[in-house]
Amino acid sequence: MNSIQNRRETLPVIETADLTKKYGTATVLDCLNIRVEKGSITGFLGPNGAGKSTTIMLLLGLIKADAGTIRLLGNGETGSGDTELRSRLGYLSQNPRFHPWMSAHEVLAFTARFFTRRVTREVNEWIGDSLEMAGLYEKARRPVGQFSGGELQRLGLAQAWINRPELLILDEPAASLDPAGRYDVLALMERLREHSTIFYSTHILEDVERVADSVIILNGGRAVYQGATAGLLAGSGGAILVKFREKEAGAAARLRSRLEGEPWLDTISPLEHREERGWTVTIRYRDQGERRLLEALVREPGLELYHFEEKKQRLEEIFLELTKKGDYRE
């Protein structure tokens, strides 16, 4: 029994194999293979038309694939009629809509009836906990027509979480919000990850850098990257950011002239910020290059080194590069 239970715990929450979907002659998903691990927040990215919305509809069982398979929570597809599997999922659409005369409490009570016909003490606890989690407990009896955009989005998250799902699928949960509203929604997502795996699509790349520990990037119906966010942002590991104070005029120029003849060095570029002195250094041989660069900077008496680290790439730069070239990285 323990071995079966352990195996279930290690199974991916989402796994697709050669998932394919066509609309007429247009192939929207082309043998898509993705994997989402339990307990993660996974950002699902891609340009318009990449296949993100189609993927989400397939995961929810709203449409059927032309080929390939989906496994959710170690089981089959939601479109197979598995009611028990559906009850373990939560979903938030891009623009949730509620009857404006209903209160937040009534919205959640109505949603809860899809999972149980009886309003029990446990159901009322679900509703209260969801309102509190979303920061709406004090506004539980207020008509939702009076809610701000951020409050409506948080109510949508509370509704998606009302059945305590193991997997939350969110479609652009912060797309139309101002910075304060986005901050609140991202903070709520971070709290919900204690209970659910979160898979969410978005165009806001800086939000992914903040909350997602995994990233899947789609382009042309295929995954051009999937893996850890930190690994993606680390880039090739060949760029070093160096900052220093020049204690002696001309010391930086002299050291740069000496380094440019080294076989391990590729390029040295001045920092773009004029108020800071330093370089971005790209190297050919990481281990050897990092050590020799650091030694040269420390030994130069005319410089005072105060910053030395691997330069991380911005997700926006990487996203544009991957979706332009269509190269696969893992």
pLDDT in tens, 157-197: 999 999 999 999 999 998 878 888 889 999 999 999 989 99
pLDDT band at 86 (very low <50, low <70, confident <90, very high): confident
| Spatial separation of the C-alpha atoms in residues 82 and 77, rounded to whole Å | 8
Residue 174 domain flag: yes
* pLDDT of res. 217: 94
Cβ–Cβ < 8 Å for 164, 197: no
Residue 280 domain flag: yes
On whether both 259 and 112 belong to a single domain, the answer is no
On whether both 218 and 243 belong to a single domain, the answer is no
On whether both 62 and 97 belong to a single domain, the answer is yes
| Spatial separation of the C-alpha atoms in residues 164 and 90, rounded to whole Å | 8
On whether both 35 and 184 belong to a single domain, the answer is yes
Residues shown for the chain: 330
On whether both 246 and 165 belong to a single domain, the answer is no
String of b and e for 222-241 (b: at least 16 CB within 10 Å)? Answer: bbbbbeebeebbeeeebbbe
The dihedral through the CA atoms of 271, 276, 281, 287 has a sign that is negative
| 292 DSSP β-pair partners | none
| 170 DSSP β-pair partners | 92, 200
* pLDDT of res. 96: 87
On whether both 225 and 259 belong to a single domain, the answer is no
Domain total of the chain: 2
Residue 62 domain flag: yes
| Spatial separation of the C-alpha atoms in residues 160 and 162, rounded to whole Å | 6
The CATH number covering residue 71 comes to 3.40.50.300
Cβ–Cβ < 8 Å for 315, 227: no
Residue 316 domain flag: no
On whether both 296 and 195 belong to a single domain, the answer is no
Enumerate long-range contacts of 181-185, CB under 8 Å, 24 or more apart. Answer: 181/148, 181/149, 181/150, 181/153, 182/150, 182/207, 184/135, 184/150, 184/154, 185/150, 185/153, 185/154, 185/157
Q: Which of 194, 211, 233 is the last residue of a domain?
A: 233
Give the residue-averaged pLDDT of 205-220.
92
- Tell me if the pTM is above 0.85: no
Average pLDDT over the chain, rounded to an integer:
86
| Spatial separation of the C-alpha atoms in residues 12 and 289, rounded to whole Å | 39
161 token code pair = 């979480």
The CATH number covering residue 273 comes to 3.30.70.920
Q: Which of 181, 216, 233 is the last residue of a domain?
A: 233
Residue 85 domain flag: yes
Residue 321 domain flag: no
On whether both 170 and 263 belong to a single domain, the answer is no
Give the residue, 75 or 19, on which the prediction is more confident: 19
Q: Is the pLDDT of residue 1 over 50?
A: no
Q: Could you tell me the residue range of the domain that residue 66 belongs to? A: 9-233
Residue 1 domain flag: no
Which strand (E) or helix (H) includes residue 275?
none
* pLDDT of res. 240: 86
Residue 206 domain flag: yes
On whether both 155 and 226 belong to a single domain, the answer is yes
On whether both 217 and 248 belong to a single domain, the answer is no
Q: Is the pLDDT of residue 50 over 80?
A: yes
